[in-house]
Chains A and B, each alone.
Chain A
């Protein structure tokens, strides 16, 4: 390296230094420590004692671990595709030129501003079996069919679909990101498609979706990362119940760490979670070669 190169390297590193330090202390060190703890018996009060792969071995035989993993994947299987499709649909509607467009956009975005805890309190009230707004509206209709209204958060079969339903209420962020992508699709493409006799539906399928596939991909990756760490809403709304039907992965991890003080065990769970996130996003990246089209920029 020439002297000039060294100078600019030092200058660059100087500007990067806040992040370099932060990365080392709050990211790299924790990840390494987490790896080490996951191989230890560690309860915070005594220093960690090395026990090899024992934590991982016990996890395999831990029914609650598997249960929490199943709960999380079930929730992901519902809320991820539904969320992505619904928000894309809403974005397409919001992209149409109608009067009052900006008012619609604002209104649809507002729920995603609501802090999680406030949304949790609100939806607990909405889902309330007897007094909640949903069942008060559905009740009379279902009575005509001689059916009783759903128990929502109070029954294990219903709790995950309920939480997924609630998550769709606050997709505003995703909608805005889609919308930005939609606005970047060149108008000429639609005009050309129309000249070729393509109707609205075929334009959506053959022009819009391929053109915004990078945005869909981005939202997919963010959704995978976000959904695997769901903690707040089940913690606030159901305490993981009923019968652990909403005992999410991160909730069990949290309990192991801060309720039972099994830090080593929790760290093993954390590492499995990290590998899951990396594996799933890796799969998304791998599949993206087939369906994501980047324009030359």
Chain B
């Protein structure tokens, strides 16, 4: 019986620890929502209350419509960048991943290692030369780069190492017999990729799309460097301007704005939860 009792107490302790950790994870978020619904007077109230006496929805309205905030515009900009980045990354990474997974050629292993090692290069190392490359491109091509969103999404049309890796892992699990059969039927390599591989890879493609979207939604340093006018800002950059002038933006409105920035991501997460978790889990599996 001793064993049974010990097991019981172990699971009680585990349970208690999990409840405490979950509370610590959630309290800041709940506090944010609570603050976002409080009136100016209630924020400073002591002792603080979790449930606002009367919901001050006006904080949300004020945050969105304050003079130098362009929330609808920022949301639009973010969505445009994110969409272009998602389409570009998913499409181009899939093409490259197919090459790495299904075509045997000399130097493939070496190139793959090279690609993986680029993941270690920190963005700050690249940002100064990238900036000057986009300046140069602006001077020597008819397309304007700096001060537009182009530098933020154009590079993603050339594949991202992380997504290529993820998709390659998936492609290698698809048996070669399928493509062999198609090849005998006279299908071109591109046809095999387009008509056989892609339809079979929907789960992996959605992981890549989801991650790219999340990354674009939260990216800060990129927009900070390349965007110039407040009307071009993304939500992350916009919220930053809102909060850095926070002498004039009260906490309840800041919290309301933050809730609005988080909400779409949370909704997306709950819709695609399974895809998400499995995707992250596979990133650690390179061994």
Q: Do A and B bind each other?
A: yes
Return the contact of B105 from the options A9, A108, A136, A215 (Cβ within 8 A): A9
8 A Cβ contacts from B134-166 to A: 135, 155, 157-159, 161, 164
A94 touches B251 (CB 8 A): no
Given contact pairs A11-B105, A173-B280, A258-B225, A16 touches B111 in the complex (Cβ within 8 A): yes
Say if the beta carbon of B200 comes within 8 Å of chain A: no
B125 touches A18 (CB 8 A): no
Say if the beta carbon of A90 comes within 8 Å of chain B: yes
The residues of B that contact A294 with a CB separation of less than 8 Å are 287
A122 touches B255 (CB 8 A): yes
A94 touches B18 (CB 8 A): yes
Say if the beta carbon of B220 comes within 8 Å of chain A: yes
Stretch in A53-61, A75-83, A149-157, A176-184 with 4+ CB within 8 Å of B: A176-184
The residues of A that contact B15 with a CB separation of less than 8 Å are 98
B284 touches A219 (CB 8 A): yes
CA distance A118 to B189 in the complex (A): 45
8 A Cβ contacts from B181-226 to A: 189, 193, 214, 217-218, 220-221, 225
Say if the beta carbon of B27 comes within 8 Å of chain A: yes
B129 touches A267 (CB 8 A): yes
B108 touches A118 (CB 8 A): no
B133 touches A30 (CB 8 A): yes
Cβ of A246 to closest chain B Cβ, rounded Å: 15
Q: How many residues does chain A have at the interface if contact means C-beta atoms less than 8 Å apart?
A: 92
Say if the beta carbon of B48 comes within 8 Å of chain A: yes
The residues of A that contact B71 with a CB separation of less than 8 Å are none
CA distance A19 to B22 in the complex (A): 41
Given contact pairs A116-B218, A118-B261, A109 touches B277 in the complex (Cβ within 8 A): yes
Say if the beta carbon of A203 comes within 8 Å of chain B: no
Q: Mark B235-260, 1 if CB is under 8 A from A, else 0.
A: 11101100110000001001101100
CA distance A21 to B154 in the complex (A): 12
Q: Mark A221-233, 1 if CB is under 8 A from B, else 0.
A: 1000100110110
Given contact pairs A122-B255, A274-B122, A30 touches B130 in the complex (Cβ within 8 A): yes
Say if the beta carbon of B4 comes within 8 Å of chain A: no
8 A Cβ contacts from A142-195 to B: 169, 173, 176-181
B22 touches A9 (CB 8 A): no
CA distance A228 to B122 in the complex (A): 8
8 A Cβ contacts from A1-58 to B: 1, 5, 8-9, 11-16, 18-19, 21-23, 25-27, 29-31, 33-34, 37, 44
A18 touches B157 (CB 8 A): yes
B108 touches A12 (CB 8 A): yes
Q: How many residues does chain B have at the interface if contact means C-beta atoms less than 8 Å apart?
A: 94
Given contact pairs A115-B265, A232-B220, A254-B124, A19 touches B164 in the complex (Cβ within 8 A): yes
Say if the beta carbon of A263 comes within 8 Å of chain B: yes
8 A Cβ contacts from B106-125 to A: 106-108, 111, 114-115, 118, 120-125
B128 touches A263 (CB 8 A): yes
8 A Cβ contacts from A223-245 to B: 225, 228-229, 231-232, 236
Return the contact of B158 from the options A12, A15, A22, A37 (Cβ within 8 A): A22
Cβ of B6 to closest chain A Cβ, rounded Å: 9
Q: For residue A34, which residue of chain B has the nearest CB?
A: B129
The residues of A that contact B43 with a CB separation of less than 8 Å are 131
The residues of A that contact B133 with a CB separation of less than 8 Å are 25, 29-30, 33
The residues of A that contact B273 with a CB separation of less than 8 Å are 106
Q: For residue B260, which residue of chain A has the nearest CB?
A: A118
Say if the beta carbon of B172 comes within 8 Å of chain A: no
The residues of B that contact A126 with a CB separation of less than 8 Å are 28, 31
The residues of B that contact A229 with a CB separation of less than 8 Å are 122-124
The residues of A that contact B27 with a CB separation of less than 8 Å are 133
A121 touches B122 (CB 8 A): no
Cβ of B72 to closest chain A Cβ, rounded Å: 18
Return the contact of A107 from the options B11, B22, B225 (Cβ within 8 A): B22
Given contact pairs A1-B106, A33-B129, A113-B266, A27 touches B118 in the complex (Cβ within 8 A): yes
The residues of A that contact B262 with a CB separation of less than 8 Å are 113-115, 118
Q: Give B residues with C-beta under 8 Å from A.
A: 10-11, 14-15, 17-18, 21-22, 24-29, 31-32, 35, 43-44, 46-48, 92, 95-96, 98-100, 103-108, 111, 114-115, 118, 120-133, 135, 155, 157-159, 161, 164, 189, 193, 214, 217-218, 220-221, 225, 235-237, 239-240, 243-244, 251, 254-255, 257-258, 261-262, 265-266, 269, 273, 277, 280-287
Q: List 5 A-B contacts (CB under 8 A).
A: A22-B158, A27-B126, A121-B254, A123-B28, A270-B125
Among all A-B residue pairs, the 6 with the closest Cβ atoms:
A22-B158, A15-B99, A180-B281, A177-B284, A12-B105, A30-B129
Q: Give A residues with C-beta under 8 Å from B.
A: 1, 5, 8-9, 11-16, 18-19, 21-23, 25-27, 29-31, 33-34, 37, 44, 90, 93-94, 96, 98, 104-111, 113-118, 120-126, 128, 131, 133, 136, 169, 173, 176-181, 200, 214-215, 218-219, 221, 225, 228-229, 231-232, 236, 250, 253-254, 257-258, 263, 266-267, 270-271, 273-274, 277-278, 281, 294, 297
Additional A-B contacts beyond A114-B262, A115-B236, A121-B243 (12; CB < 8 A):
A8-B104, A11-B105, A22-B155, A27-B121, A37-B128, A90-B21, A113-B214, A131-B44, A136-B46, A180-B281, A266-B128, A270-B126
